[in-house]
Amino acid sequence: MTDQTAKTALVTGGAQGIGRAIAEQFLADGMNVLIADCDKEACQETAEELEKNGNPVALCCDVSDEQDVKTAVSETLRQFARLDVLICNAGISGFFGVPVTELSLEQWQRVIGVNLTGCFLCAKHAAPYLGKTGGCIINIASTRALQSEPHTEAYSASKGGIVAFTHALSVSMGPQVRVNCISPGWIETAEWQKKSRRQTPALSETDHAQHPAGRVGVPEDVAGLAAFLASNQAGFITGQNFVADGGMTRKMIYLD
């Protein structure tokens, strides 16, 4: 039977990668978790694999579709009778390498629709219930909001928008709801995919050495930060963007 006194989290994009690590961390912390993800196969696998840590519910959801988002929120309430934490993690990184002169409007809108509009829709429909529990929203952006490689305009714009959306929303929703943002850097997620895509990462010493922290990040790094931001210990923190990148955005690089 579900413990309806326990905190409840809705985690979008929670079936693989960083989202799955956050869902697993929350379950280990005793929270109820609903995983919303557009990959039905990954949803089913993740729910089955995480049962040992709790009783997660998985739901197929496209966060760019308002009706899907409404359903995810209502199902969370139906299953657990409350909502305390919203993790807006769902995102796509498609169309890297496509020059802006060749990027179609449809491609641009798809990235913005999932990555940025998805955050808006989730916040819009979760807000009334988060307000009742004094809950919080944690948006997952990226260091691409702060620095770029060539031909990443759609993705970078979507993640920059998330950072701005976060601080705007924190002012609008405070003091009832706290809103923060995490911007991960290089996080290796190869081992956190569904079974058909899961693999051992191939990382070199150079990959690790370019990080001042001495290694490439892992999903648990982001999950630990999310767990803190969702806790009562973070009660005085809102409107902030936390960069979790092993120090890479602080490292000056000179070509020989």
Exposure string for 83-110, b = 16+ CB within 10 A, e = fewer: bbbbbbbbbbeebeebeeeeeeeeebeb
Contacts of residues 145-154 at CB distance under 8 Å and 24 or more positions apart, as own/partner, are 145/183, 145/241, 146/183, 146/243, 146/249, 147/249, 151/96, 151/97, 151/98, 151/99, 151/100, 152/96, 153/100, 153/103, 153/108, 154/95, 154/103, 154/107, 154/108, 154/111, 154/112
**Does residue 155 have an active-site annotation?**
yes
State how beta strands 85-88 and 136-140 pair.
parallel
User: What's the one-letter identity of residue 117?
Assistant: T
User: What's the one-letter identity of residue 58?
Assistant: A
Nearest to 83 by CA among 109, 117, 57, 44: 57
User: What's the one-letter identity of residue 139?
Assistant: N
Of 129, 155, 165, 192, which is the active-site residue?
A: 155
What SS3 class is residue 110? helix
The Cα angle at residue 145 between residues 65 and 36, in degrees rounded to 5: 30
**Dist. CA 167–CA 199, nearest whole Å:** 37
The residues carrying an active-site annotation are: 155
